[in-house]
């Protein structure tokens, strides 16, 4: 971190599969932003995600130059967190060890570039770079990890960045600190994750990627196991094709041929009863998952929070609300707000409100908990 007066100027980098979202914040305010769409052929020409580092870094630096942002004015850089080992929620200092792991990981995902790009740029500027609440945040309690088959554990993979950010907003609206609340947060997007937040930790959450919880616009969610076994053995499809059907080709895509909730709502308005049944069925499954989290929290719930892109749908929100508002008040924060959440993490560090953690100091998981010895 720079010495002297801090302007709270933060560069935020959020790489997606074929795009890079970039924004510069001063305090809570955006002063420059851009969503860069990369040429698909260019992306496909790289064998590994990590190989895109220089290409993506140049795009970020070019944006800063075009926007007239002096790189020397930046106080810190925050990148989207990638597929690291499971860790507790919070803001993590990017260091050489973290970058080395992301460079060599077998878990290919564009989010891995967030730390790598921020580290490369921060090094030259002699400022710190961070990641915050990546999808691998794991605060689940031992009971939540048990599955019905020994040797297979339930895993925590979810929309941690948005869930944690929205949880803080909801807590503030309740005039409480995040660490004082019991909340149920439902992120409703291309994938759906519903988490039980107790005193600042997500003690249980469905695995929103690998097949757990509600179906979503493009993911199958929890499925009858024997039917999946039959599909794998009897369809003639390979593992890659099966995965694509479950993640990408499941949910609304499988039933209605689209992942766009606006199109589904248009179908319903035109009298399409199948579309209504499927869309309400998704709301029904979200409500069931919220009810499960209420049981995890033993009925002590300060609020239920609906967030993500699908929270813009009054139809979907209404169906969920009517099934769960007996549990606790329902609060709605539409959208994902990833860039704001990353900037807020950097601000908390700059303002001394949250000490950054070191990923290298994080122990291996033992017996379902994080070893901090």
Can you tell me the distance from the alpha carbon of 364 to that of 355, in angstroms, rounded to the nearest whole number? 21
pLDDT for residue 373 = 22
Q: Say whether pLDDT at 366 is over 70.
A: no
For residues 278 and 171, membership in a common domain is answered with: yes
Distances (CA, A) of 34 to 29, 117, 122, 324: 15, 16, 20, 38
| Backbone dihedral angles phi then psi of residue 169, each to the nearest 5 degrees | -65, -45
Q: Say whether pLDDT at 173 is over 60.
A: yes
For residues 330 and 205, membership in a common domain is answered with: yes
For residues 58 and 74, membership in a common domain is answered with: yes
Question: Kind of pairing, strands 182-188 and 192-198?
Answer: antiparallel
In tens, the pLDDT along 98-124 reads: 999 999 988 888 999 999 999 999 999
For residues 107 and 208, membership in a common domain is answered with: no
Instruction: Give the helix ranges, DSSP H, for the chain.
Output: 40-44, 53-66, 96-104, 112-125, 142-145, 160-173, 225-234, 239-246, 251-256, 261-269, 273-296, 314-324, 338-350
Instruction: Tell whether 296 is covered by a domain.
Output: yes
For residues 296 and 255, membership in a common domain is answered with: yes
**Domain count for the chain:** 2
For residues 164 and 116, membership in a common domain is answered with: no
Q: What is the CATH number of the domain that holds 282?
A: 3.30.420.40
Instruction: Tell whether 223 is covered by a domain.
Output: yes
Q: Say whether pLDDT at 81 is over 80.
A: yes
Instruction: Tell whether 148 is covered by a domain.
Output: no
Can you tell me the distance from the alpha carbon of 240 to that of 229, in angstroms, rounded to the nearest whole number? 15
For residues 210 and 309, membership in a common domain is answered with: yes
Instruction: Tell whether 301 is covered by a domain.
Output: yes
Quote the domain boundaries for residue 182: 160-335
pLDDT for residue 368 = 35
For residues 106 and 29, membership in a common domain is answered with: yes
For residues 14 and 129, membership in a common domain is answered with: yes
Compute the CA torsion angle 233, 239, 244, 249 (nearest 10 deg). 0
Other Cβ atoms within 10 Å of 170 Cβ, number: 23
């Amino acid at each position: 971190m720079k010495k002297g007066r801090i302007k709270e100027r933060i560069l935020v980098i959020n790489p997606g599969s074929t795009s890079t979202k970039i924004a510069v914040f001063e305090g809570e305010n955006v002063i420059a932003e851009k969503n860069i769409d990369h040429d698909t052929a260019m992306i496909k020409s790289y064998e590994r995600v990590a190989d895109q580092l220089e290409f993506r870094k140049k795009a970020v630096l070019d944006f800063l130059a075009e926007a007239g942002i002096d790189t020397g004015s930046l106080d810190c850089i925050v990148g989207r967190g990638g597929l690291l080992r499971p860790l507790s929620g919070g803001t993590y200092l990017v260091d050489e060890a973290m970058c080395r792991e992301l460079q060599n990981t077998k878990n290919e995902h564009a989010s891995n570039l967030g730390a790598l790009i921020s580290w490369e740029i921060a090094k030259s500027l002699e400022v710190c770079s961070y990641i915050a609440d990546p999808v691998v945040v794991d605060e689940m309690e031992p009971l939540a990890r048990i599955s019905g088959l020994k040797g297979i554990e339930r895993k925590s993979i979810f929309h941690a960045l948005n869930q944690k950010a929205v949880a803080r907003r909801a807590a503030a609206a309740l005039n409480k600190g995040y660490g004082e609340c019991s909340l149920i947060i439902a992120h409703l997007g291309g994938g759906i994750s519903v988490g039980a937040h107790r005193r600042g930790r997500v003690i249980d959450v469905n695995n929103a990627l690998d097949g757990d919880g509600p179906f979503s616009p493009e993911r199958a969610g929890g499925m009858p196991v024997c039917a999946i076994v039959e599909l794998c053995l009897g369809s003639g499809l390979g593992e890659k094709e099966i995965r694509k059907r479950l993640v990408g080709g499941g949910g609304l895509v499988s039933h209605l041929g689209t992942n766009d909730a606006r199109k589904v709502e248009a179908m319903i308005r035109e009298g399409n009863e199948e579309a209504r049944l499927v869309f309400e069925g998704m709301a029904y499954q979200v409500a069931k998952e919220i009810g499960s989290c209420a049981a995890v929290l033993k009925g002590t719930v300060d609020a239920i929070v609906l967030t993500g892109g699908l929270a813009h749908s009054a139809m979907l929100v209404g169906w969920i609300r009517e099934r769960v508002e007996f549990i606790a008040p329902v609060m709605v924060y539409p959208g994902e707000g990833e860039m704001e959440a990353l900037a807020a993490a950097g601000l908390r560090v700059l303002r001394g409100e949250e000490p950054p953690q070191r990923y290298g100091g994080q122990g291996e998981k033992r017996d379902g908990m994080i070893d901090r010895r």
